[in-house]
């Protein structure tokens, strides 16, 4: 018997398209210090795509990652429900997983969000939920009152 397809599963051609768009976005990266350009393409549940690139700053703590740039663009346009994000680093074929800060920001919008990275072997893209990349995450549900005593 075939396994049921998860509701947030992405067809391989969609994952490939998002990786292509992330590579295009990477071309706009401002990375004069690390020389590590990163691009991201964020897919909303409504089918819209927002791209982002990393933007470095001489005051390193002010640097913003590609994933957070894409999220900021999407949220500033009213999007709140995301399906997937593709992330690419300087080498097209090597996986480039979101950093810890980006994982936390992405998790904010749902543990089912799919993260797409190149496979590193020229095969199908790697696709995994953000909850896998951020186990025991701190999310919005944690801030809800649960049986508080007076």
Catalytic residues, which ones? Answer: 67
Q: How many CB atoms lie within 10 A of CB 42?
A: 31
Residue 128 corresponds to which tokens in the numbers above?
Answer: 């995994």
Compute the CA torsion angle 119, 74, 134, 130 (nearest 10 deg): -50
Q: Is 64 helix (H, G, I), strand (E, B) or coil?
A: strand
CA 4 to chain centre: 25
Rounded CA gap, 48 and 43, in Å? 6
């Amino acid at each position: 018997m075939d396994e049921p397809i998860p509701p947030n599963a992405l067809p391989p051609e969609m994952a490939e398209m998002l990786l292509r768009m992330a590579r295009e976005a990477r071309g706009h990266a401002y990375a004069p210090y690390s020389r590590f350009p990163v691009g991201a393409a964020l897919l909303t549940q409504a089918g819209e795509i927002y791209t982002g690139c990393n933007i470095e700053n001489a005051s390193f703590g002010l640097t913003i990652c590609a994933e957070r740039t894409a999220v900021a663009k999407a949220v500033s346009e009213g999007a709140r429900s995301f399906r997937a994000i593709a992330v690419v680093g300087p080498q097209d074929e090597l996986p480039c997983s979101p950093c810890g800060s980006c994982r936390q920001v992405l998790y904010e919008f749902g543990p089912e969000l799919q993260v797409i990275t190149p496979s590193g072997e020229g095969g199908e893209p790697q696709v995994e939920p953000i909850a896998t990349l951020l186990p025991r995450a701190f999310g919005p549900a944690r801030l809800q009152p649960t049986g508080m005593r007076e």
